[in-house]
């Protein structure tokens, strides 16, 4: 078989660096975008941040408009024959004037400086407990044991080691014997710190601790409820976990009212000690889109903090035309090209995000008026067709982006849901149906909860025809237990 030469023509789709950068920026979250902008500012001397408190330290005679610098003929910027590397498309003037053209509501209506959007350091559970120990009158030895107890507490606040194991840890580090009884005493003291019950061994012990620490200044009737609740948790905890209430009533000769009062008290107890100190730093969501009402219509606007204003460093751009060093001119020329691409990518990202937000708000006007029950079904395909964009572009634009409205803060992806035909005409979104199920369950009698079949019948009366198994799937997605578990009293 002789070797031969063949010539084939084929087409391949390749992404140029600018398009790759645009796609990357589009899918970044707010925090990731700010980090990327800061990286570009640190690595590219031709890119600067325009801010009221941030101006480049240059002579005023060297400062011109960004459009003037960028729109100069390629021959002025590239007299050393690098036309293949520098695109000839100048950024349009509208790019620099977009702030003046966009409508900004009055600051009294919408403001970006919400208190809940501030970043603050949150003390962790262990740090909070250690601080209280340091303020306590414990001896130095007992304080060291308390530190070991706190180190063996998990994020929920429960103790993960026995007194004997903690005693071994202390003895191994300090070369002196500690009795498990000493550790148990310190554990009881840690349990009395705030939040109450930290270092409890399990849920049963934590529930008992809460009941025993209820304010003693209560009526006799309330004391009887507390006493019965303690008895149930201490001696019949397994029966409570299995919801065997009828069996408990018969064994303990209790009335329905008595056990109901005790169960109500138990249900109001916390299930884990750590309910406040969740640790490390809490980062509050900064919305990318703000929704406001203007002339009886809901409208969308990009949040002012979404992107800082960027510009070209004119001092370096002038040096690009004046320098006689080919190395310097090559370096500065490449960074000018990168700066232009980055600014254009930011502009494209904002434009795409604004178009997507406008479309969502325009199609969900009833949601912002009436709430989740009025949410219309939306698909990526519909939005992509209307905006003449690819579905993957819509998906990237909605990824990790948030919208703030008077109804709350929602991820853009929240507004997309499947459509279910209505028997009365029109369509229902799956999220609106879930909201209906939640409303029915919240209004049901506690002793006669609605079965999935009954929920399907109620939805049918609303014009929503779905099967029982679909109702069951939606109910489970809402973390609503079945009717048998929601019923207050069940047979053992």
445 lies in the same domain as 378: no
pLDDT tens-place string over residues 345-354: 999 999 999 9
Distance between CA atoms of residues 307 and 219, nearest Å = 60
Domain boundary among 415, 436, 469: 415
295 lies in the same domain as 385: yes
Nearest Cα residue to 77 out of 65, 64, 90: 90
* Domain at 452, CATH number: 1.10.10.60
Q: Report residue 12 as tokens.
A: 């391949």
CA-based Rg of the chain, rounded to a whole angstrom?
A: 33
Average pLDDT of the residues of the chain: 76
469 lies in the same domain as 455: yes
Domain boundary among 415, 431, 448: 415
Distance between CA atoms of residues 77 and 329, nearest Å = 10
Distance between CA atoms of residues 314 and 377, nearest Å = 49
Domain boundary among 387, 415, 443: 415
379 lies in the same domain as 476: no
360 lies in the same domain as 478: no
Helix (H) or strand (E) holding 98: helix 93-101
pLDDT tens-place string over residues 381-398: 888 888 898 888 888 888
pLDDT surpassing 70 at residue 90:
no
Q: Report residue 289 as tokens.
A: 């889109």
Do the Cβ atoms of 387 and 356 come closer than 8 Å? yes
pLDDT surpassing 50 at residue 89:
no
Length of the chain: 492
Nearest Cα residue to 251 out of 261, 238, 264: 238
Nearest Cα residue to 477 out of 438, 428, 419: 438
DSSP letter for each residue of 273-305: S-SS-B-SEE-----SEEEEEETTEEEEEE-TT
Domain that holds residue 396: 289-301+351-415
In a domain, 364, yes or no: yes
Strands 402-405, 289-294: pairing is parallel
pLDDT tens-place string over residues 266-279: 888 888 888 766 54
Distance between CA atoms of residues 334 and 17, nearest Å = 13
In a domain, 236, yes or no: no
Q: For the chain, how many structural domains are there in total?
A: 2
pLDDT tens-place string over residues 172-202: 777 678 888 988 999 998 998 888 889 898 9
Q: Report residue 47 as tokens.
A: 């890119």
Note the maximum CA span of the chain: 105
pLDDT tens-place string over residues 394-421: 888 888 889 988 888 888 888 887 667 6
More confident site: 447 or 282: 447
Contacts 24+ apart (CB under 8 A), 175-179: 178/145
């Amino acid at each position: 078989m002789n070797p031969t030469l063949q010539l084939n023509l084929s087409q391949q789709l390749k992404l140029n660096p600018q398009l790759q950068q645009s796609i990357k920026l589009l899918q970044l979250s707010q925090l990731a975008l700010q980090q990327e902008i800061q990286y570009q500012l640190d690595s590219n001397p031709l890119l600067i941040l325009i801010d009221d408190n941030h101006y480049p330290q240059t002579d005023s005679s060297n400062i011109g408009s960004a459009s003037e610098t960028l729109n100069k003929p390629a021959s002025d910027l590239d007299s050393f024959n690098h036309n293949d590397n520098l695109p000839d498309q100048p950024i349009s003037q509208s790019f620099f004037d977009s702030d003046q053209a966009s409508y900004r509501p009055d600051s009294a209506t919408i403001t970006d400086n919400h208190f809940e959007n501030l970043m603050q350091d949150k003390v962790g559970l262990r740090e909070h407990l250690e601080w209280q120990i340091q303020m306590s009158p414990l001896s130095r030895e007992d304080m060291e044991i308390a530190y070991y107890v706190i180190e063996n507490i998990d994020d929920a606040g429960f103790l993960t080691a026995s007194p004997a194991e903690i005693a071994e840890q202390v003895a191994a580090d300090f070369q002196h014997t500690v009795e498990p009884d000493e550790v148990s005493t310190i554990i009881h003291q840690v349990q009395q710190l705030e939040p109450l019950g930290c270092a409890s061994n399990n849920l049963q012990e934590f529930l008992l601790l809460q009941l025993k620490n209820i304010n003693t200044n209560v009526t006799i009737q309330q004391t009887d409820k507390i006493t019965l609740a303690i008895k149930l948790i201490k001696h019949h905890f397994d029966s409570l976990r299995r919801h065997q209430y009828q069996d408990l009533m018969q064994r303990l000769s209790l009335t329905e009212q008595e056990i109901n009062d005790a169960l109500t008290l138990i249900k109001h107890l916390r299930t884990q000690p750590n309910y406040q100190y969740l640790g490390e730093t809490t980062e509050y969501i900064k919305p990318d889109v703000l929704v406001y009402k203007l002339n009886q219509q809901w409208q969308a606007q990009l949040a002012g903090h979404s992107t800082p204003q960027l510009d070209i460093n004119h001092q370096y751009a002038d040096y690009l035309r004046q320098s006689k060093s080919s190395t310097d001119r090559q370096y500065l020329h490449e960074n000018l090209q990168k700066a232009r691409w980055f600014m254009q990518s930011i502009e494209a990202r904002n434009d795409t995000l604004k178009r997507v937000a406008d479309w969502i708000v325009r199609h969900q006007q009833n949601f912002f008026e009436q709430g989740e029950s009025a949410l219309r079904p939306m698909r990526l395909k519909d939005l992509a067709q209307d905006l003449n964009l690819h579905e993957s572009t819509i998906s990237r634009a909605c990824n990790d982006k948030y919208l703030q409205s008077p109804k709350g803060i929602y991820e853009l992806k929240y507004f997309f849901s499947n459509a279910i035909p209505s028997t009365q005409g029109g369509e229902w979104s799956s999220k609106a149906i879930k909201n209906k199920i939640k409303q029915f369950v919240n209004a049901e009698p506690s002793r006669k909860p609605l079965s999935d079949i009954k929920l399907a019948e109620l939805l049918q009366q609303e014009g929503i025809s779905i099967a029982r198994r679909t109702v069951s799937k939606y109910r489970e997605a809402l973390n609503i237990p079945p009717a048998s578990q929601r019923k207050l009293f069940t047979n053992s």
